[in-house]
A = this chain, B = another copy of it.
Amino acid sequence: MPEMNMVDAIHDALTIAMEADDTVMILGEDVGANGGVFRATDGLQAKFGEDRVVDAPLAEGVIAGAAVGLAIAGMTPIAEIQFLGFAHQAYHQIADQVARYRSRSQGRFNLPIVIRSPFGGGVRAPELHSDALEAQFVHCPGLKVVCPATAHDAKGLLLASIADPDPVLFLEPLRGYRLVTDEVPEDAYTVEIGKARVVRTGTDITLIGWSAGVFLAEKAADVLAKDGISAGVVDIRTLAPLDIDTIVAEVSATGRAVIVQEAAMTCGFGAEVATTLAAEAFFSLESPITRVGAPDAPYPLPGLEKMYIPDVAAVVAGAKVAMEAV
């Protein structure tokens, strides 16, 4: 199996989907000749034509909103929002239109839309380019939210998202685009939406993350191992729907959990995981669930981002707190 980085895996999935189905089209800012600012759509316009890979005018609202109409027309639109921060410009279309159209029409109009967007920090980007805003979208009934952490899952989950009859927000960890490399089958395959991935099992504590949080959790588990702490790692992978059973199973075995989110702490997705986990694994928990995240402050300019977003040390520290509490 070839090794591939994440952006190539995404490119691969897009190519496969477009080859297999004429209705699949891509629209977004700079997705055409430029191939997307991260090259996820490199060469696709040349290959599939200007009708199927469309440089949209610079307006996120209508990129998401036109996708609604395109889907009703019988297309399978894949909309790219250049950075997740700018999905705020389309929030009304995503939360109230994309997510609710099937329900509003009582099943008549389903929308097989995928909205792809890179998110998260760590690459010294300008302001508003680095926020981890996933929780704002999980709290939108009718929307699935998918967050791969490996190239393998990026390809398989993207193909599953495109095949899904309902709208999926597909969030790609910006800083993993080229850094994350793993084995990716060449052919088409899907990874089921709604299944977490047990990255490794542990006996003392379970580290739970998604997207870039998994990178941290894995490294933290290595560090903890050196200190004699056996830490398992779970990659939640799809935030909505959430596979709580896998998480509960892992945490029931260890009795302790750390949830790693990159977002500002308050009201992040970690709170949902912690609450559900506490409710379902209450009697197995030996210590309070610890959350690791960013402070409740706006994402800073690059000079301070290392202090803002959680790093491996923060996860290790969180895990130690959870280990010490009796």
Residues of chain A having any CB pair with chain B under 8 Å: 85-86, 88-89, 91-92, 95-96, 99-100, 103-104, 127-128, 133, 135-136, 138-139, 141-142, 240, 242, 263-264, 266-272, 274-275, 278-280, 282, 287-291, 295-298, 300, 325
Do A275 and B282 touch (CB < 8 A)? no
**Chain B min CB distance to A285 (Å):** 8
Copies in the complex: 2
Do B103 and A297 touch (CB < 8 A)? yes
Q: Which of A92, A99, A127, A290 has the most CB of B within 10 A?
A: A92
Do B104 and A298 touch (CB < 8 A)? yes
**Chain B min CB distance to A51 (Å):** 29
Contacts A85-B96, A95-B88 known; A266 to B104 CB distance under 8 Å? no
From B128, B142, B272, B287, A267 is in contact (CB under 8 Å) with B272
A138 to B266, CA, bound (A): 7
Q: Which residues from chain B contact A269 at a C-beta distance below 8 Å?
A: 267
* Chain B residue, CB-CB nearest to A89: B92
Q: Which residues from chain B contact A95 at a C-beta distance below 8 Å?
A: 88, 136
Contacts A96-B128, A298-B103, A298-B104 known; A272 to B266 CB distance under 8 Å? yes
Do A139 and B91 touch (CB < 8 A)? no
* Chain B residue, CB-CB nearest to A282: B288
Q: Which residues from chain B contact A287 at a C-beta distance below 8 Å?
A: 282
Do A325 and B139 touch (CB < 8 A)? no
A289 to B267, CA, bound (A): 17
**Chain B min CB distance to A325 (Å):** 7
Do B141 and A264 touch (CB < 8 A)? yes
Do A325 and B282 touch (CB < 8 A)? yes
A96 to B85, CA, bound (A): 8
Do A127 and B104 touch (CB < 8 A)? yes
Do A264 and B139 touch (CB < 8 A)? yes
Q: Which residues from chain B contact A89 at a C-beta distance below 8 Å?
A: 92
Q: Which residues from chain B contact A300 at a C-beta distance below 8 Å?
A: 103
A-B contact pairs, 24 of them (CB 8 A): A86-B92, A88-B91, A89-B92, A91-B92, A100-B298, A103-B297, A103-B298, A103-B300, A135-B139, A136-B136, A138-B266, A138-B267, A141-B266, A141-B295, A141-B296, A141-B298, A142-B298, A266-B272, A267-B269, A267-B271, A275-B278, A275-B289, A279-B288, A282-B325
A280 to B288, CA, bound (A): 8
Apart from A103-B300, A139-B264, A275-B275, 19 more pairs, CB < 8 Å: A91-B92, A95-B136, A100-B298, A104-B127, A104-B298, A133-B139, A135-B267, A141-B296, A141-B297, A141-B298, A267-B271, A270-B275, A271-B272, A274-B275, A275-B278, A275-B289, A278-B278, A278-B288, A279-B288
Do A92 and B88 touch (CB < 8 A)? yes
Q: Which residues from chain B contact A141 at a C-beta distance below 8 Å?
A: 264, 266, 295-298
A189 to B280, CA, bound (A): 44
A96 to B141, CA, bound (A): 23
